[in-house]
């Protein structure tokens, strides 16, 4: 990779806040940012903000922010979802993924998508994480959110609560702990990371009285991880895992399901947190908020999470490139 990383950005749902973020952001001079989007969409949102932004067309060697055009099916109205534009959202993601896999882009930053409208259009879509894993041909990936020094990874992601226990298998835990440990070392520069593994049940099962998942599945996985040289600790009761005294001694927390760990992280750093997909052959970082349909086109834009995602993408792209 050249000294100037080329990083792709997909703004996400065209009726949402993503295009507004593209118009409001400031872009680092030492990165070539490539926004994969409809040029008219970005121009429309820039005009709503009372500003003009010149986006040169992307081509290898074009420095600074540029645009790789993908056409909308229908002109987007801020705040109004249109299933006809679902294919546009997925086409932007496909082009970005292809570029990352080919080495054209050093990393991918994604804006928020609206899962329901994509599914309404007839596409089976559970989220960025699953889409990118499938596109990259990767069997196992890990979703991790980062807010400052707090890192929370997930064993399961977008599944119903009723489906969680069956999805927490020894094989899945083995894979997640391996991916998380490797990423913390390679991407975050932590020599020997400590990972706090949460229990599934209240009080981590209370010795089997509140469930046996800790005894039958989670503890054996922690022991296997330790035998592989991973500093896994647990299972720890989720209700005390996030107190500062405990967090001071760990580099990441591994939660069993989405709403076990993420409410704490978002309360800790909402607006500046980011979502990182671990296990892909390229860095992917996303904002930690939704499409904010009510704010699209109004000028009420908070760029904090997107700016954090772009800063982390730049850092991870550098580490992936090696010395």
The pLDDT of residue 270 = 65
Contact 8, 109 (CB under 8 A): yes
> pLDDT under 50 in the chain at which residues?
1-2, 322-323
Do 146 and 111 share a structural domain? no
Torsion, Cα 23 305 11 310, to 10 degrees, reads 90
Residues 79 and 129 in one domain: yes
Same structural domain for residues 132 and 265? no
Do 25 and 83 lie in a common domain? yes
The confidence score (pLDDT) of residue 1 equals 42
Q: How far apart are CA 68 and CA 105, in angstroms?
A: 12
Specify whether 50 is located in the same domain as 31: yes
Cα distance between residue 287 and residue 22, in whole Å: 13
- In a shared domain, residues 21 and 105: yes
Tokens 């790789």 belong to 68
Question: What pLDDT sits at residue 112?
Answer: 95
Whether 222 and 284 share a structural domain: no
- DSSP label at 200? S
Residue 233 is predicted with a pLDDT of: 97
Helix/strand/coil for 130: helix
My answer on whether 233 and 318 are in the same domain is no
* Domain count for the chain: 2
Residue 108 belongs to domain spanning: 1-138+280-323
What's this model's pTM, rounded to 2 decimal places?
0.88
Same domain (yes/no): 215, 126? no
Q: What is the spatial order of strands in the sheet that 284-287 belongs to?
A: 66-69, 32-37, 6-10, 107-110, 284-287, 274-278, 142-147, 150-154, 252-255, 194-198, 231-236
Whether 113 and 156 map to the same domain: the answer is: no
Q: Are residues 160 and 179 in the same domain?
A: yes
Query: What CATH number should be reported for the domain holding residue 13?
Result: 3.40.718.10
Residues 47, 120 share a domain: yes
């Amino acid at each position: 990779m050249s000294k100037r990383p080329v990083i792709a950005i997909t703004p996400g749902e065209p009726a949402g806040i993503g295009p507004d973020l593209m118009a409001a952001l400031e872009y680092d001079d030492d990165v070539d940012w490539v926004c994969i989007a409809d040029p008219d969409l970005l121009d429309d949102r820039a005009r709503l903000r009372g500003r003009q932004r010149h986006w040169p067309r992307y081509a290898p060697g074009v420095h600074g922010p540029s645009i790789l055009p993908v056409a909308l099916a229908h002109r987007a109205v801020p705040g109004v979802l249109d299933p006809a534009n679902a294919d546009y959202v997925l086409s932007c993601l496909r082009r970005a993924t292809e570029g990352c896999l080919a080495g054209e882009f050093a990393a991918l930053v994604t804006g928020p998508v609206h899962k329901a409208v994509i599914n309404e259009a007839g596409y089976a879509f559970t989220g960025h994480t699953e889409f990118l894993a499938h596109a990259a041909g990767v069997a196992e990936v890990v979703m991790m959110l980062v807010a400052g020094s707090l890192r929370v990874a997930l064993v399961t992601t977008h599944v119903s609560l009723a489906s969680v226990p069956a999805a927490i298998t020894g094989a899945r835990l083995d894979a997640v702990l391996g991916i998380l440990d490797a990423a913390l070392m390679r991407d975050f520069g932590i020599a020997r990371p400590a990972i706090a593994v949460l229990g599934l049940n209240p009080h981590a099962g209370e010795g089997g009285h509140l469930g046996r998942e800790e005894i039958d599945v989670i503890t054996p996985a922690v022991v296997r991880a330790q035998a592989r040289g991973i500093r896994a600790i647990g299972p720890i009761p989720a209700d005390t895992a996030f107190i500062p005294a405990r967090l001071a001694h760990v580099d990441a927390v591994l939660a069993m399901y989405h709403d076990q760990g993420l409410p704490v992280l978002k309360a800790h750093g909402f607006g500046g947190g980011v979502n990182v997909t671990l296990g892909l052959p390229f860095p992917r970082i996303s904002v930690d908020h939704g499409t904010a349909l009510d704010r699209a086109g109004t000028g009420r834009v908070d760029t904090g999470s997107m700016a954090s995602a772009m800063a982390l993408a730049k850092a991870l792209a550098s580490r992936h490139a090696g010395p």
